[in-house]
Amino acid sequence: MTRLSAPAALLVVAATLAAGCFGRDRSLQIRDADQTRVEVRRLYDSYRDEFPGVKSLSAGELVELRAKEDVVLVDVREEKERAVSVIPGAITREAFEAEKEKLRERRVVAYCTIGYRSGKYVQELNEQGIPALNLEGSILAWVNAGQPVVDPQGAPVKRVHTYGAQWALLPDGYEAVY
């Protein structure tokens, strides 16, 4: 059996801690951008069966759609989440509901943190005859696609309310709030 010197053993322990071992929450480990996008997609896909028949689009597809059409982007998150940041131009679920009859003719896309709550909301809208879409991976996919978020006053920010540590899947330079 090879025995490590004290300095070598200390380096092994430090490297192990830095790698996120010893029970550290897996969601808080350092990931590269590709790993983060894959994990966002995996989480979204794990919820997908909860809203069968709901059509969705990727963050990239939403960027393209917004360049061509007047899209109603509906943020279904709670007020405390929206107070941290939103996708530019988004309106609240409450604002959409108040103007639903007027807005129903436009393209409607809903989002939340990862896509579960917005998927359920889109399912409700579809049942009411409103052909809404769900943003796959929602605000997490949006920022991981390099797209901006703003605070309630419209100023660019690098903070996202991630609902919890499990969803703290943000690109470098962003702060998770939960």
Sign of CA dihedral 146, 151, 154, 155: negative
Give pLDDT, residue 30.
53
Give pLDDT, residue 49.
94
CA triplet 63, 67, 70: central angle to 5 degrees?
A: 105
Nearest CA to 36 out of 162, 120, 133, 122 is that of 162
Three-class DSSP category at 13? helix
DSSP per-residue letters across 19-30: TT-TT--GGGS-
Tokens of 158: 């690098």
Nearest CA to 114 out of 30, 176, 23 is that of 176
Task: Round to whole Å and give the CA distance between 87 and 3.
Answer: 54
Please provide the CATH number assigned to the domain covering 27-177.
Answer: 3.40.250.10
Give pLDDT, residue 163.
84
> What is the pTM for the complete model shown?
0.82
Give the up-direction half-sphere exposure of residue 42: CA atoms within 13 A in the CB hemisphere.
10
pLDDT tens digits, the chain, 178 residues: what are they?
444 444 444 444 344 333 333 333 333 445 789 999 999 999 999 999 999 999 999 999 999 999 999 999 999 999 999 999 999 999 999 999 999 999 988 999 999 999 999 999 999 999 999 999 999 999 999 999 999 999 999 999 999 999 889 899 999 999 999 9
Tokens of 172: 């470098």
Give pLDDT, residue 24.
30
